[in-house]
Structure 1
């Protein structure tokens, strides 16, 4: 139930997936909202601090998720060959975009040479800073890669719904029920 099998996702992979999805959507919404804040708004400093802190925690979780993904079996994909290839490319693209968004966010936050405080619990040092136009360029990469991530994630969700409702595959069910296997498919 905790670990993946060739026929279903384990609870750890499912939790990584859904917590990451909710966090990414929340960070996107918070980031978009922050761009409209004025200097005298009470959230002018608080919003970015929360955004950065959650972003660093998501980075740590994503690295853990990638390690877990490499040491666990991946359930066999359902669908035609072209669909499984597209799904594989889509998943790789999602991971790459998540990492680009987080790396560019880190570069924005550390452009002034100060580290990133994570809710006051610990600080991530500024390893790379004072590059020419670092904050501006990283900001553009951050915004456009986050937007691309949201679009690709929406496509990912639509594909899951298509597999579930049109193709009648158990792709979505496997991401909702830990330990799902074809042997107990009649339960779902």
Structure 2
């Protein structure tokens, strides 16, 4: 099993980062959607947002790690893709990275614009770096719009992978789910 990417596919580390982030992002969307339904009397009114914020900070760290890993690894060959598909795929990935970074930064701002720290899993407080209560509603709206854009783009990404697998019958999806062996150079 190979940990690094090769010309024929993604290594184990890239695959794990991809799938952990993908599943976590959909879970965070669900958690965020549920949080919006909580009332002040709910026993989860404080703990659910704190959990959402803490997981968001972990995902920000994973995003930085994933981006760093992407920078020091080769990208698998895109021989299965047409020029348009290759450009579209690359653009979609960069937009998705930008949206993920933006939604996480805006999420941090929502939680800290009132001057309060984020209780990171109730272990340590992540301090507020900027205070402006007037921006809370705008940040909340932006977070909501970014979250829906991410889910839409991630859904499109998933559908494209399925299209490649079932319609084009190429190896695009397999490169992200099949473990590489030492013979796959």
Q: How does 1:35-46 map to 2 (within 5 A)?
A: 35-46=36-47
Structure 2: state its 5+ residue gaps: none
1:21-170 equivalent positions in 2, closer than 5 A: 21-77=22-78, 78-130=80-132, 133-170=134-171
2: distance between equivalents of 1:115 and 1:45?
13
- Following superposition, the deviation at residue 134 of structure 1 comes to 1.8
Structure 1 CA distance, aligned partners of 2:159 and 2:19? 15
Maintained 8 Å contact 1:174/1:180: no
Q: Deviations for 1:51-81, whole angstroms, at most 9, x for unmatched residues?
A: 0010000001111111111011111122111
TM-score by length of 1: 0.93
Match of 1:15 in 2: 16
- Residues 10-29 of structure 1, C-alpha deviations (whole Å, 9 max, x = no match): 00000000000011000000
CA RMSD of aligned residues (A): 1.4
More deviation, 93-102/172-181: 172-181
Superposed displacement of residue 180, structure 1: 6.0
State TM-score, norm by structure 2. 0.94
After TM superposition, where is structure 1 displaced by more than 4 Å over at least 4 residues in a row? none
- Structure 1 residues not aligned, in runs of 5+: none
Paired residue total: 182
